[in-house]
Structure 1
Amino acid sequence: MATEFVAPGAADQQLHVIVCYPGERNIWQCEVALSPGATVGDALAASGFAQAFPAIDPWEEGVGVFARRAASHDPVADGDRIEIYRGLTFDPMVSRRRRAAHRARPTR
């Protein structure tokens, strides 16, 4: 990603962040420009996530910035990736046990 030089005091002091959500079949993402001092909640509101997914509460499963949990009042930085998490569709421990049992089977 190329960066632009912005002179100190220039009018364009916006933060550019990406909001993303892993849907069932594809990944939804939206790049938004925010004012300095913006929060994770501001980014979610600006992205239009609530309109795109009205039945989903992003805070129910959690929201994070680069895989670290974040609260709605946490500030964002230029270039952040805000991730809206969703629940697992399978139990990882069940899958691990299945793989272990498969490896333990005798081979012919």
Structure 2
Amino acid sequence: MADDIQVQVCHALPDSSFLHALKVPAGTTIGQAVALSGLLQKIPGIDLAVNMVGIYGKKKPLDTVLREHDRVEVYRPLQADPKEARRRRAGSKPAKG
């Protein structure tokens, strides 16, 4: 059908990953595509109210309308604050000079 678009939904865990290609009707949102992909059933710990989503590495709201060949990414929560981790690494290195 001309009204369908091809998209991918993906999510990565430390020991596995989920990647599902699907055809969805034009006008489908990120939230709808995630639900249609089966990701929420396969990995029940995902909460779209908490986990951020994006398209090709750019954060987007759940109501973003998808375009042909978009890759929807469901991100995991950060384990540590990146700024704090960088401070700890910098503090453990000897000073240059």
TM-score, length of structure 2 as denominator length: 0.82
Match of 2:82 in 1: 92
State the alpha-carbon separation in 1 of the partners of residues 11 and 4 from structure 2: 23
C-alpha deviation, 1:60, in angstroms: 0.7
Match of 1:33 in 2: 23
Asked if the contact 1:14/1:36 (under 8 Å) is kept, the reply is: yes
CA RMSD in angstroms comes to 2.0
TM-score, length of structure 1 as denominator length: 0.75
State the alpha-carbon separation in 1 of the partners of residues 18 and 6 from structure 2: 17
5+ residue gaps, structure 2: none
Higher RCO by CA contacts (8 Å cutoff, separation 6 or greater): 2
Q: Report the number of matched residues.
A: 96
Partner of residue 66 from structure 1, selected from 49, 56, 60: 56
- Greater fraction helix: 1
State the alpha-carbon separation in 2 of the partners of residues 34 and 27 from structure 1: 21
Partner of residue 48 from structure 1, selected from 31, 38, 45: 38
Percent identity over paired residues: 31
- Greater fraction strand: 2
